[in-house]
Amino acid sequence: MAERIHLHLISDSTGETLESVARASLARFEEVEAVKHFWPLVRSTGHLDRVLEDVAEHPGLVVFTLATGEIRNRLEAGCEALGIPAVSAIDPVVAGLSIMLGKAATARPGRQHRLDEAYFARVEAINYTMAHDDGQGSENWNEADILLLGVSRTSKTPTSIYLANKGFKTANYPLVPERKPPPILFELTKPFIVGLTTTPHRLIEVRRNRLLSLAQTPETDYVDEEKIKREVAEARRLFADRGWPVIDVTRKAIEETAAAVMRLMNREEASQT
């Protein structure tokens, strides 16, 4: 039986940081079922009092990112009175930066989410990525930051969208047997091109599940083992011939694949400086 706990995530901003911290931390514990109580945009004592009522009703760990002293102090005092632990998610990092920079941090709720140039760049990246999914708009590929290549069902689209949310204009193109890629692919100068691959066995599983979800017969060339082996081999040969880096997505989550793409791109940029 999984152990069940309540986890209260309290933020004076959107709470995205807390979501990431909670997800990464919970992954370190097996057989734990967390009931998340999500409280974003907590910027008044009245709102906080309602949060504390829920904390009292469902005791559990409190994790917070609160910049305003009054609300933070009230939360910590309330949790102490209830005998419930309260942990700041970013205090150690802020303290370290304060020491390194020799200055105190400012207390501005939601500052990291202000509508600055980075925000609008992210919106532009998302719009570009959605318009250049699955080989669309190849004439504009030189505007991309990243171009993902791979056979069908190698997580190109979800990885592209994840990268777009990080601010990277990402296009992707499916490699299809007996169909040559557009000539422009071999003339590109800007985008960082990465090949995505997986094992034939895993590809068969994913494609079968895809066909079943669409109420289609799973007995087609799309899932033929020998043809899939050739398909994967041809894609790998193309990547090797062009010197494009390759990421095996067989056992990777989308976040891990995107992180690997960004690491490779940073390494490439560093080598050119």
Provide the β-strand partners of residue 248: 197
The one-character DSSP state at 180 is P
Is 150 a known ligand-binding residue? Answer: yes
Residue 69 annotated as lining a ligand binding site = no
* Segment holding 35, helix H or strand E: strand 32-39
Q: Give the chain's radius of gyration (CA, Å).
A: 24
153 is in an annotated binding site: yes
CA distance 197 to 10: 39
Query: For the chain, where are the alpha helices, taking DSSP H only?
Result: 16-26, 45-57, 69-82, 91-101, 117-131, 156-165, 200-213, 225-242, 254-271
**Was 151 annotated as part of a binding site?**
yes
Tokens 């204009």 belong to 169
- Judged by DSSP in three states, 41 sits in coil
In the annotated binding site, the residues are 150-157
In the annotated binding site for ADP, the residues are 150-157
